[in-house]
Structure 1
């Protein structure tokens, strides 16, 4: 992403690569979140069976984390490709920047 797509996106959107740092930050956040989420499954496995409400709450939070991560990943991967495959600068790119930065936060 960083070595190939950012240079191309910089040329298409007429913006310096330093202004596209939010994309790299989003991908780093995705990687970190996937690692954390991976370990939640191990944690959930060892939750005591008799603490049903605690398990339910944990699974709810885990589902919310998965959902948020999928929204971020969808935006960083699929929606970004729209701007990589256009001819010329897109007026919607600033909206995409705001959305991706918000999801990353």
Structure 2
């Protein structure tokens, strides 16, 4: 019997935008405070309909084997049965960051 390959949908914030990507590997990683994401999955390029948002993400993550997202930037991680379209949600919108612990603010205060 073939082993089912896991698929995860990860939503995280980066540069005031919400990213939604699909990956085969997600773990706490070796770096404290980061989520390790590997083996990104994108739609087939042979598709007749091309999503410009997904194409932008493919370009941004081209040649990236794995990347690390700070835990406080992760919104949600779901294990899913079916792949959707990778996208940037609310592009150009304002995302309110999660409050940082004391001691990480403006050094002038």
Q: TM-score range, shorter-chain basis?
A: under 0.3
TM-score by length of 2: 0.21
More strand by share: 2
Q: Which has the larger radius of gyration?
A: 1
TM-score by length of 1: 0.22
More helix by share: 1
